[in-house]
Amino acid sequence: MVEQEAAWDRGDIDAFMAAYSDTVCFRSPKRLTCGRDRVTSDYRRAYPDKASMGDLGFGIAEVVPAGGHHAWVTGTWTLHREADTLRGGFALLWVRTAQGWRIARDFTY
């Protein structure tokens, strides 16, 4: 997730999305979106430029192994931008794949 923070702060949505599986489902208070391409499109629409992306920070609360190939990660996120600061929480289901650990489910609020 450190790599995700750095990618976000550079304005690199593609590198940020590299942590997600192709079949990820992203749940926010507003909707459910499945598939990395669709989630990526949503991010690009919501954050069209570096200024809107701001500076992202994660706070990891816990990592709970769920067998040898899965783990739940919960925590908080903070997005500092020039005009405002946004905050929320997340629960991520990580899955070990041939390419490494990837996010299969993202519940962000």
43-87 tens-digit pLDDT: 999 999 999 999 999 999 999 999 999 999 999 999 999 999 999
Q: How confident is the model at residue 24 (pLDDT cuts 50, 70, 90)?
A: very high
Q: Are strands 32-34 and 100-108 parallel, antiparallel or unpaired?
A: unpaired
pLDDT at 19: 98
Provide the pLDDT confidence category of residue 9 given band limits of 50, 70 and 90: very high
- Catalogue the long-range contacts made by 64-67 (C-beta closer than 8 Å, 24 or more residues apart): 66/93
Q: Which CATH number fits domain 2-108: 3.30.930.10, 1.10.10.10, 3.10.450.50, 3.40.190.10?
A: 3.10.450.50
Per-domain residue ranges of the chain: 2-108
Assign 108 a pLDDT band (cuts: 50, 70, 90): very high
